[in-house]
C-alpha cells in the first residue's frame, strides 16, 4: 500500500484539495439553504396549506442535502491526508465520521418516511401505490444500509492504519 501511495502522491494531493474545497463549498451552501428554508417555512406557519405546498414543492431538498455530503467530502479529504502524511492526526470530521454517517443514515430514512407519508394520499391506483412504496423502501433501506456499511468499515480500518504506521 505504501508503494501505491508514493506512486500516486501527486494525484492524492489534488484529490485532497478538491475534497476540501468541494466539502467546504457544500457545507456552506447547505447551511445557508437550511437557514433560509427554516425562515421561509416559519413565515408560512400561519396558513397550513401554504406551508404544506411550500414544503412539498418549494424547499430545495437537494441543496439542504449538500450539508451532510459536504461533511463526507471533508472526511474523505482528511482520510486522504491521513493516509498520505505520516505525521497527520485525523481531524474532527474523520475522528467522528462513523457517528456522522450513522446520523446521516437515520435522517435519510426519516426523510424518506416523511416523503412517503406526505405523498401517499395523492397516489390513486393500486399499481402506483405498490411501485412507489417499493421504490421508497428500496431507496431508503438500501441507502441506509450502504451508509452504515461505510461507517462500520471506516470505524474498523482507522485503527488498522494507525497501527500500521507504528510498524513501519
Percent of the chain predicted with pLDDT > 90: 37
CA-nearest of 150, 76, 64, 78 to 107 is 64
Who has greater pLDDT, 2 or 83? Answer: 83
pLDDT for the residue 115:
77
Across 95-103, average pLDDT = 92
Domain boundaries along the sequence of the chain:
1-93, 96-168
pTM: 0.79
Look up residue 66 and give its DSSP letter: H
**pLDDT for residue 22:** 97
Secondary structure (3-state) at 76: helix
pLDDT digits (tens, 9 = 90+) for 36-88: 888 888 888 888 888 777 777 777 777 778 899 999 999 999 999 988 888 88
- Nearest 5°: phi and psi at 86? -65, -30
Hey, what's the cell of 83?
A: 493516509
Amino acid at each position: 500500500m505504501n508503494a501505491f501511495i508514493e506512486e500516486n502522491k501527486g494525484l492524492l494531493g489534488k484529490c485532497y484539495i478538491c475534497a476540501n474545497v468541494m466539502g467546504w463549498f457544500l457545507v456552506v451552501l447547505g447551511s445557508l439553504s437550511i437557514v433560509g428554508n427554516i425562515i421561509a417555512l416559519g413565515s408560512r406557519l400561519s396558513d397550513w396549506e401554504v406551508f404544506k405546498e411550500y414544503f412539498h414543492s418549494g424547499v430545495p431538498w437537494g441543496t439542504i442535502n449538500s450539508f451532510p455530503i459536504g461533511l463526507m467530502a471533508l472526511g474523505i479529504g482528511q482520510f486522504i491526508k491521513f493516509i498520505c502524511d505520516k505525521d497527520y492526526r485525523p481531524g474532527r470530521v474523520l475522528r467522528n465520521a462513523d457517528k456522522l454517517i450513522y446520523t446521516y443514515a437515520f435522517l435519510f430514512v426519516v426523510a424518506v418516511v416523511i416523503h412517503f407519508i406526505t405523498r401517499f394520499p395523492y397516489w390513486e391506483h393500486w399499481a402506483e401505490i405498490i411501485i412507489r412504496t417499493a421504490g421508497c423502501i428500496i431507496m431508503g433501506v438500501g441507502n441506509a444500509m450502504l451508509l452504515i456499511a461505510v461507517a462500520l468499515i471506516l470505524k474498523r480500518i482507522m485503527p488498522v492504519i494507525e497501527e500500521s504506521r507504528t510498524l513501519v
